[in-house]
Structure 1
Amino acid sequence: MENITALGGDVYEIDTRMAGFSGITAGYLILSDRPCLVETGTSTSAPVVRDALHHLGVGPDDLATVVVTHIHLDHAGGVGDIARYFPSADIVVHEKGARHLADPSRLMASARMVWGDRLDTLFGELSPTEASRIRALGDTGAVDLGNGRTLASHYSPGHAKHHVGLIDSSTGDLYVGDAAGVYLPQTGDLRPVTPPPDFDLDTALNSIALFQALAPERLLFSHYGPVQEVEDILERSAEELKIWVDLTRQAKSEGMDLDHAVAMVRDRTRGRYTALQADDETAEQFELLSGAPSNVAGILHWLDRVAP
């Protein structure tokens, strides 16, 4: 199947084809003794992911675990559907996100407020998962991949208060979710993801420092794909956060409303990203994943809390 890429170490990247796009959201299958899916993608992606797992020999009762880095709909929107397709799998999530997988009503209502009618085409509807199948992680935890291999969980809020990073004891792969930003392999661009209401700069920088301390062999981005230049990318991730915060703080100090702040930050950062000088489709893809309005709104929300 053309949406499956073998990454070595029994790890397979699955393009979950969010909203029909390629190269936007990745799920990862660890085909160990106890097969584990990291990230489900959206609800509308669930059949794509199911078919990829079946193609890789993982039948309905073979999947042991589904782990999500956090409960945003581009990462976990398909959890309820995947749980139904693979009835033997445990569903693993940080304890701050667990109740929203069991009862997604509040999460879906707030997503509807943000996205409006676009919600249905971009994400679909997160279906509930039986509470008995959900395993909640604390600040650290581990998923048994079989044969002595584990996927260790490390609490990494900043992007979202229910976010974890996951490191594979066998490969040294670190699944970074959104805590290190969005990486675009076509152009090598990296941009932060700082949506409201949870973004907090110090917490986000501490999460990146934690990732550096874990000394991973490789970073696996949910958006998008594997990156070998671990130290360089994590340093860039911290630098990008500081630049966006500094510019947004300047806009706020000049009394700009959200629209003017977004326009200013977008204009001042445009030259940093090759994708925005590329073809329209690549630029649209980048903006969908790390939209300036959402990023600036999240930073302003944080600034209002820490420096009203």
Structure 2
Amino acid sequence: MSPRPKVTPLGDDVYEIDTRMAGHTGITAGYLILGDRPCLVEPGTAGSAPVVREALTSLGVGPSDLSTVVVTHIHLDHAGGVGDMAEAYPAAEIVVHEKGARHLAAPERLMRSARMVYGDLLDELFGELKPTDAARIRAVEDTGVIDLGGGRRLESHYSPGHAKHHVGLLDSLTGDLYVGDAAGIYIPETADVRPATPPPDFDMDTALASLEKFKALGPKRLLFAHYGPVAAVTETLDRSAEELRLWVETVRKAHDESLDIDHAVAMVRDRTDGRYKAYGPDADPALTEKYELLNSTAGNVAGIMHSFGKLA
């Protein structure tokens, strides 16, 4: 028997749902905003869909009740379950940035690319993204509005750098900002912030501009998909920018010296040794393994290296 889903109330009808990606706890969060028009932010992977459905049921949201499913971007740890959720909640509108909309309607190309990267591990980590009827998908551009009912809304703000189809989402009532991966990975056990710079879309200057946009929005709290709420808004966004610059500077040095990716990974590990409590000789090995699965050093370095090629 699978464990009951972990649902954490965050106030003002916001609930954090542990989507249990690949069976891990505390690695990927979805968020339900209850009210007149219930909205699910970040459904997680296809493999997480049963967990998320059970969580919604426990919160009184039935198949005809969910109004909206919105994703910050279409990477499979965030949006892999969209097709399953659309099928289970036939009244829900699916909201995504315009650059990602076609991949939710016809995910074959996205799935082929993901399988090239992950191989057989794809099924264990993410499962299969099912297509969603294009008529149910609403594409937003630089900004957009999701009606939550009662005058409350989610405002989407285009925030590329991590991915070209990324948006942040600001709750008009609470000031919560759903940051997706644009501010990196937050590790709640240790309060570490690590970059998220996978290929093929990562671009440092664009990512830094998105962080500045987030600061200018004046959010009261950051809600990370990985993982959870953070009240220290300015400090966390500043730390995210600092870590990005450090990683890119280190990988650029390896690139300029014509070193291969293995050397670049080693240089990053040497340079960041001691910066993250979740890593290093004194860290909990299980915690390190969990976050390497989600946000591997090699994957981040590959994304940074790829960004240099785009600039050439």
TM bracket, shorter-chain basis: over 0.9
Map 1:200-279 onto structure 2 (within 5 A).
200-277=203-280, 278-279=283-284
Task: Look up the equivalent residue of 2:302 and give its one-letter code.
Answer: A
Question: Is 1:282 matched with 2:287?
Answer: yes
Task: Look up the equivalent residue of 2:235 and give its one-letter code.
Answer: D
Question: Is 1:291 matched with 2:280?
Answer: no
Asked whether the equivalents of residues 5 and 51 of structure 2 are also in contact (C-alpha less than 8 Å), the reply is: no
Structure 2 CA distance for aligned equivalents of residues 258 and 117 of structure 1: 23
Q: Please point out which of 72, 75, 94 is paired with 1:72.
A: 75
Residue 185 (structure 1) aligns with? 188
Question: Is 1:147 matched with 2:150?
Answer: yes
Which moved further from structure 2: 83-92 or 270-279?
270-279
Residue 7 (structure 2) aligns with? 4
Structure 2 CA distance for aligned equivalents of residues 185 and 140 of structure 1: 29
Deviations along 1:87-125, one digit per CA (max 9) or x if unpaired, are: 100000000000000000000000000000100000000
Residue 138 (structure 1) aligns with? 141
Q: Sequence identity of aligned pairs in percent? A: 69
Q: Please point out which of 115, 118, 121 is paired with 1:115.
A: 118
* Matched residues, number: 307
Using the TM superposition, give the Cα deviation of residue 2 of structure 1 relative to its aligned residue in structure 2, in angstroms: 5.2
Residue 166 (structure 1) aligns with? 169
Asked whether the equivalents of residues 5 and 55 of structure 2 are also in contact (C-alpha less than 8 Å), the reply is: no
Residue 53 (structure 1) aligns with? 56
Using the TM superposition, give the Cα deviation of residue 35 of structure 1 relative to its aligned residue in structure 2, in angstroms: 0.2
Deviations along 1:18-54, one digit per CA (max 9) or x if unpaired, are: 0000000000000021000000100000000000000
Structure 2 residues without counterparts, runs of 5 or longer: none
Structure 2 CA distance for aligned equivalents of residues 177 and 171 of structure 1: 17
Using the TM superposition, give the Cα deviation of residue 292 of structure 1 relative to its aligned residue in structure 2, in angstroms: 1.0
Using the TM superposition, give the Cα deviation of residue 267 of structure 1 relative to its aligned residue in structure 2, in angstroms: 2.4
Question: Is 1:17 matched with 2:20?
Answer: yes
Residue 35 (structure 2) aligns with? 32
Structure 1 CA distance for aligned equivalents of residues 175 and 54 of structure 2: 27
Task: Look up the equivalent residue of 2:289 and give its one-letter code.
Answer: E
Deviations along 1:159-178, one digit per CA (max 9) or x if unpaired, are: 00000000000000000000
Structure 2 CA distance for aligned equivalents of residues 67 and 2 of structure 1: 20
Give SS of 2:279's match: helix
Residue 95 (structure 1) aligns with? 98
Residue 178 (structure 2) aligns with? 175
Give SS of 1:143's match: strand
Asked whether the equivalents of residues 176 and 220 of structure 1 are also in contact (C-alpha less than 8 Å), the reply is: yes
Runs of 4+ in 1 over 3 A off after TM superposition: none
Which moved further from structure 2: 297-306 or 161-170?
297-306
Give SS of 1:34's match: coil
Give SS of 1:150's match: strand
Using the TM superposition, give the Cα deviation of residue 263 of structure 1 relative to its aligned residue in structure 2, in angstroms: 1.8
Asked whether the equivalents of residues 94 and 163 of structure 1 are also in contact (C-alpha less than 8 Å), the reply is: yes
Which moved further from structure 2: 279-288 or 51-60?
279-288
Which moved further from structure 2: 68-77 or 269-278?
269-278
Structure 2 CA distance for aligned equivalents of residues 43 and 305 of structure 1: 31
Structure 1 CA distance for aligned equivalents of residues 310 and 41 of structure 2: 33
Using the TM superposition, give the Cα deviation of residue 303 of structure 1 relative to its aligned residue in structure 2, in angstroms: 1.1
Asked whether the equivalents of residues 174 and 219 of structure 1 are also in contact (C-alpha less than 8 Å), the reply is: yes
